[in-house]
C-alpha cells in the first residue's frame, strides 16, 4: 500500500469508531420452486403475502442485475423453519430479507394434507435499462437459480461454507435463455452452466424487437453440507416444538440499541440444542440472552428416512424496543468526520461500510491484574465481502492493548462500502479505551470479584482433578485465524488459561504460550465468550482453573 494506515489516521482522513456506552429500477418476487429433482408434493407452497421491498438507495447507480435466492423450509402448517438467503450483494439481502417477517405462506400439500416442504424463491432487482416498456432494453431477469456444489469430503459435516459470488460473461439469446457462459474457473464451469439453464430473461430489445445480447452478471455459488438444509430429498430438517422468546436485556433498555445476533448451533439426535454460540453479533451485550433463548428451544430431530441425525443450523435473533425492527442502532459511532478527498482513490466510496458484527476486546490479563489503564487505536481495511482483511495497530499505551484490540477488530464484519453501485474496499479506524469504567463493558463486577479472589483466596479456585467430572461445554465459538499473520504462516498453536466460575463462564483468559502472538490473542478473544455447564465438586458449584490448547490451520491444502 502506497500510504501507511497510520499516516491516514494521523492526518484525520479516517473516521475513528468507538464502542459507545451501550427510477426505474424494480423488484420482482418469483414463485417458489421445488428444490429437489423428484418427489415434489401435489401442491407447492403459495406465498400469500410479502413485505414491501424497496430498491436499495445505495445500489441505484448500478447498471447490474442483483438478486437474492431464499432456501425456505416450511412445516405442514406453512410455518417457516428455515429461511436462508443467497445474495449477490448484502445491500440486496438486507432489502429483501426482513428476517422472514412479512412473508406469509400456505403450506405445500400431498394428497390434500399439509406436508413439510423445501423450496426456493427469488427476489430480483433489475436495473432501469431492463425496463419492460422501453423499445431499447437490456435483458430483464425473470427467473434465477444459484449454482450448487457439493461440500468437500475431507471437511467436518458441521463446517459452514460461505457463499461465493462469481462474475461471468453470458450470451442471452432472442428467447431469453442463456446460450453460453464464459470467463469462470474450470471447476465452477459445470455447476454454473447447470444453474444458468434455469435462468430466464425477457430478452434484450432493439427498436422493440427481441435480439441476442452479451451480459456480465453475477452467479452465487453455494457449497453444500450434509448438516445444512435438505440433501437430495432424503433428510428432513429439525422441527421446532417450543421456541423461547428472547428477552431484551433490562440493563440495555436505557441505551435503546438494537440487537442482531446470529446464533450458530447443532440440533442433536434427541432434538436438543448443542453448542449454541454467537456467530455474528451487532451488539455483544445481546449475545447471552440470544444464546440462552436458543438453548431452551426444543425440536423433533432431523431425520434421514426414519433415522434421527444431528443437523447444523444458524438463526438470526433480533432485539428491539417497542416492537420496532429498525429502531435503535449499533454500538459503533463516528467521532470524526470523513475526509474522503485525502484517501487513496481505491478507498473512496459513496456509502460507508455498515457494521454487521462486533465483539468486545478482551482486557489483557497482566494489565488488568496490575490495574494498568490505557488505550489503543487500529486502522483496518474492509474488503468487498465485508471482512476485515488487514488491521494495523496505530498507537497503544502498551503493546498488549494494541494486540488485544487488533484481535477484536479482525472479528468485525460489515456490509461493504458501495461506490457507483458496486461493493468496494474501505479504510477505517477504531479507538478503544482499556479501563474498568463500566461504560466500556470490558470488565464486569464478576471479573473484578474473581480477580480479587484469585489474588487473596487462591485456594478457592480448584484444578480439574478436584472436580466431580470434566466440565461440559455448552457454548464454544471457534477462534478466527488472525488476518495479521503473514501469508507464509499457515499453521500455529496457542495455549490459553482461564477460570471457569460457578456459573460455567470462562473468565480472565490469559495467554500461556503461542507460536505467534496473534494466535494467542485470537484464542483469548474466542475463549472470552465460552460457556460450560457449572463445574462441581462434591455436588456443589465451584470455580476451576482450565488450560486449553488451540491449533490454527489456514493451509489451503487442508480445505
> Across the chain, what does the average pLDDT equal?
86
Does pLDDT of 2 surpass 50?
no
Quick count: other Cβ atoms within 10 Å of Cβ 234?
Answer: 11
Please compute the mean of the pLDDT values over residues 48-77 and round it to a whole number: 88
Q: What pLDDT score was predicted for residue 18?
A: 55
Please compute the mean of the pLDDT values over residues 73-100 and round it to a whole number: 84
What single-letter DSSP state applies at residue 555?
-
Highest mean pLDDT among 78-82, 154-158, 167-171: 167-171
Neighbouring residues of 252: CB distance < 8 A, sequence distance ≥ 6: 22, 259, 283, 285, 286, 319
Does pLDDT of 147 surpass 60?
yes
Q: What pLDDT score was predicted for residue 214?
A: 96
Q: Distance between terminal CA atoms of the chain? A: 29
CA angle 93, 99, 103 (to 5 degrees): 100
Q: What pLDDT score was predicted for residue 334?
A: 53
How far is residue 5 CA from its own chain's centroid?
26
Q: What does the alpha-carbon distance between residue 457 and residue 181 come to, in Å, rounded to a whole number?
A: 70
Query: What residues form DSSP beta bridges with 546?
Result: 498
pLDDT band with cut points at 50, 70 and 90 for residue 58: confident
| Number of residues written out for the chain | 559
Q: What pLDDT score was predicted for residue 20?
A: 46
Residue 491, all three cell numbers = 499453521
CATH code given to domain 242-319: 3.30.2420.10
Fold of 445-558: TolA/TonB C-terminal domain (3.30.2420)
Helical spans, DSSP H, in 21-116: 90-97
Q: What does the alpha-carbon distance between residue 468 and residue 317 come to, in Å, rounded to a whole number?
A: 35
pLDDT band with cut points at 50, 70 and 90 for residue 59: confident
Does pLDDT of 360 surpass 80?
yes
Q: What pLDDT score was predicted for residue 319?
A: 84
The tally of CA atoms less than 13 A away on the side-chain side of residue 329 is 9
Does pLDDT of 307 surpass 90?
no
Please compute the mean of the pLDDT values over residues 4-9 and round it to a whole number: 53
Q: What does the alpha-carbon distance between residue 354 and residue 229 come to, in Å, rounded to a whole number?
A: 29
Task: Please give the helix or strand (H or E) that residue 191 lies within, else none.
Answer: helix 186-196
Q: What does the alpha-carbon distance between residue 101 and residue 320 come to, in Å, rounded to a whole number?
A: 14
Does pLDDT of 359 surpass 80?
yes
> Helices H, strands E: what count in the chain?
8, 42
Q: What does the alpha-carbon distance between residue 76 and residue 213 come to, in Å, rounded to a whole number?
A: 43
Q: What pLDDT score was predicted for residue 6?
A: 52
Quick count: other Cβ atoms within 10 Å of Cβ 301?
Answer: 19
Q: What does the alpha-carbon distance between residue 342 and residue 259 come to, in Å, rounded to a whole number?
A: 34
pLDDT band with cut points at 50, 70 and 90 for residue 98: low
pLDDT band with cut points at 50, 70 and 90 for residue 244: confident
414 three-state secondary structure? strand
Q: What pLDDT score was predicted for residue 164?
A: 92
Higher-pLDDT residue of 428, 304: 428
Q: Between the CA atoms of 86, 89, 90 and 91, what dihedral angle is there, to the nearest 10 degrees?
A: -130
Q: What is the CA radius of gyration of the chain?
A: 25
Q: What pLDDT score was predicted for residue 191?
A: 93
Helical spans, DSSP H, in 234-282: none
Query: What residues form DSSP beta bridges with 476?
Result: none
Does pLDDT of 154 surpass 50?
no
Does pLDDT of 428 surpass 60?
yes
Share of the chain above pLDDT 70, in %: 86
Q: What pLDDT score was predicted for residue 31?
A: 92
How far is residue 203 CA from its own chain's centroid?
36
Does pLDDT of 227 surpass 50?
no
The CATH class of 5-21+331-440 is alpha beta
Tens-place pLDDT, residues 468-512:
999 999 899 999 999 999 989 999 999 999 999 999 999 999 999
What Å distances lie between residue 87 and 120, 145, 212, 269, 500, CA to CA? 13, 11, 26, 31, 40
pLDDT band with cut points at 50, 70 and 90 for residue 156: very low
Give φ, ψ of 114 to 5 degrees: -65, 140
Tens-place pLDDT, residues 524-539:
999 999 999 999 999 9
Helical spans, DSSP H, in 259-414: 287-295, 365-369, 399-409
How far is residue 447 CA from its own chain's centroid?
28
CA angle 411, 157, 303 (to 5 degrees): 125
What single-letter DSSP state applies at residue 57?
G
- CATH 3.30.2420.10 residue spans of the chain: 5-21+331-440, 242-319, 445-558
Least confident of 34-43, 118-127, 525-534: 34-43
What Å distances lie between residue 265 and 202, 258, 280, 312, CA to CA? 42, 22, 12, 6
Least confident of 31-45, 187-201, 378-392, 495-509: 31-45
Q: What pLDDT score was predicted for residue 22?
A: 42
Residue 516, all three cell numbers = 505467534
Give the closest residue to 452 by CA, choosing from 527, 521, 371.
Answer: 371
Does pLDDT of 393 surpass 80?
yes
- Strands 426-434 and 540-541, by their bridges, are unpaired
Please compute the mean of the pLDDT values over residues 357-384 and round it to a whole number: 95
Task: Please give the helix or strand (H or E) that residue 453 lies within, else none.
Answer: helix 445-456
Please compute the mean of the pLDDT values over residues 338-360 and round it to a whole number: 88
Please compute the mean of the pLDDT values over residues 536-547 and round it to a whole number: 96
Does pLDDT of 519 surpass 70?
yes
pLDDT band with cut points at 50, 70 and 90 for residue 258: confident
Does pLDDT of 522 surpass 60?
yes
Residue 95, all three cell numbers = 432489502
Does pLDDT of 11 surpass 50?
yes
Give φ, ψ of 160 to 5 degrees: -105, 125
Handedness of CA 131, 133, 137, 141 (dihedral sign): positive
Residue 175, all three cell numbers = 428467447
Q: What pLDDT score was predicted for residue 10?
A: 52
Neighbouring residues of 329: CB distance < 8 A, sequence distance ≥ 6: 257, 258
Q: What pLDDT score was predicted for residue 231?
A: 41
CA angle 281, 164, 37 (to 5 degrees): 105
Q: What pLDDT score was predicted for residue 17?
A: 58
What single-letter DSSP state applies at residue 327?
-
Amino acid at each position: 500500500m502506497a500510504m501507511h494506515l497510520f499516516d491516514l489516521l494521523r492526518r484525520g482522513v479516517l473516521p475513528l469508531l468507538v464502542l459507545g456506552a451501550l427510477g426505474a429500477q424494480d423488484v420482482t418476487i418469483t414463485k417458489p420452486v421445488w428444490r429437489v429433482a423428484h418427489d415434489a408434493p401435489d401442491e407447492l407452497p403459495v406465498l400469500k403475502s410479502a413485505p414491501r421491498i424497496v430498491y436499495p438507495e445505495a445500489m441505484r447507480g448500478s447498471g447490474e442485475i442483483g438478486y437474492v435466492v431464499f432456501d425456505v423450509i416450511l412445516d405442514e402448517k406453512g410455518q417457516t423453519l428455515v429461511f436462508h438467503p443467497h445474495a449477490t450483494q448484502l445491500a440486496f439481502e438486507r432489502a429483501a430479507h426482513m428476517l422472514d417477517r412479512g412473508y406469509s405462506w400456505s403450506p405445500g400439500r400431498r394428497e390434500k394434507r399439509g406436508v413439510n416442504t423445501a423450496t426456493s424463491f427469488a427476489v430480483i432487482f433489475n436495473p432501469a435499462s431492463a425496463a419492460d416498456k422501453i423499445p431499447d432494453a437490456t435483458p430483464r431477469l425473470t427467473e434465477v437459480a444459484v449454482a450448487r456444489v457439493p461440500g468437500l469430503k475431507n471437511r467436518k459435516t458441521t463446517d459452514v461454507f460461505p457463499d461465493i459470488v462469481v462474475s461471468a460473461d453470458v450470451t442471452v439469446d432472442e428467447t431469453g435463455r442463456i446460450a453460453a457462459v464464459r470467463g469462470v474457473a474450470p471447476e465452477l464451469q459445470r455447476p454454473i452452466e447447470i444453474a444458468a439453464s434455469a435462468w430466464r430473461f425477457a430478452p434484450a430489445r432493439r427498436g422493440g424487437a427481441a435480439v441476442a445480447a452479451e451480459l456480465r452478471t453475477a452467479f452465487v455459488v453455494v457449497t453444500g453440507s450434509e448438516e445444512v438444509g435438505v440433501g437430495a430429498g432424503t433428510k428432513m430438517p429439525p422441527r421446532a416444538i417450543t421456541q423461547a422468546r428472547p428477552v431484551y436485556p433490562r440493563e440495555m433498555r436505557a441505551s435503546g440499541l438494537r440487537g442482531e445476533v446470529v446464533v450458530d448451533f447443532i440440533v442433536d439426535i434427541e432434538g436438543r440444542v448443542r453448542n449454541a454460540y454467537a456467530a455474528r453479533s451487532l451488539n455483544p451485550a445481546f449475545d447471552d440472552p440470544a444464546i440462552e433463548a436458543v438453548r431452551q428451544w426444543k425440536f423433533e430431530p432431523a431425520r434421514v428416512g426414519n433415522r434421527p441425525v444431528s443437523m447444523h443450523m444458524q438463526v438470526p435473533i433480533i432485539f428491539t424496543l417497542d416492537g420496532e425492527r429498525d429502531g435503535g442502532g449499533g454500538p459503533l459511532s463516528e467521532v470524526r468526520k470523513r475526509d474522503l478527498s485525502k484517501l487513496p482513490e481505491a478507498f473512496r466510496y459513496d456509502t460507508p461500510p455498515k457494521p454487521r458484527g462486533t465483539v468486545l476486546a478482551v482486557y489483557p490479563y497482566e494489565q488488568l491484574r496490575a490495574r494498568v489503564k490505557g488505550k489503543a487505536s487500529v486502522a483496518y481495511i474492509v474488503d468487498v465481502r465485508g471482512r476485515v482483511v488487514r488491521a494495523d495497530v496505530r498507537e497503544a499505551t502498551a503493546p498488549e492493548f494494541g494486540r488485544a484490540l487488533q484481535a477484536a477488530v479482525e472479528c468485525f464484519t460489515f456490509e461493504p462500502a458501495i461506490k457507483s453501485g458496486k461493493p468496494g474496499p474501505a479504510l477505517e479506524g477504531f479507538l478503544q479505551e482499556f479501563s474498568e469504567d463500566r461504560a466500556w463493558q470490558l470488565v464486569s463486577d464478576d471479573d473484578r470479584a474473581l480477580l480479587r479472589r484469585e489474588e487473596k483466596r487462591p485456594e478457592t479456585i480448584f484444578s480439574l482433578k478436584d472436580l466431580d467430572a470434566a466440565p461440559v461445554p455448552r457454548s464454544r465459538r471457534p477462534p478466527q485465524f488472525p488476518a495479521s499473520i503473514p501469508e507464509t504462516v499457515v499453521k500455529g498453536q496457542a495455549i490459553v488459561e482461564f477460570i471457569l466460575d460457578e456459573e460455567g463462564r470462562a473468565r480472565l483468559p490469559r495467554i500461556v504460550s503461542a507460536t505467534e502472538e496473534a494466535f494467542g490473542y485470537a484464542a483469548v478473544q474466542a475463549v472470552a465468550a465460552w460457556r460450560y455447564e457449572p463445574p462441581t465438586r462434591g455436588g456443589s458449584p465451584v470455580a476451576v482453573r482450565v488450560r486449553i490448547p488451540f491449533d490454527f490451520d489456514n493451509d489451503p491444502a487442508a480445505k
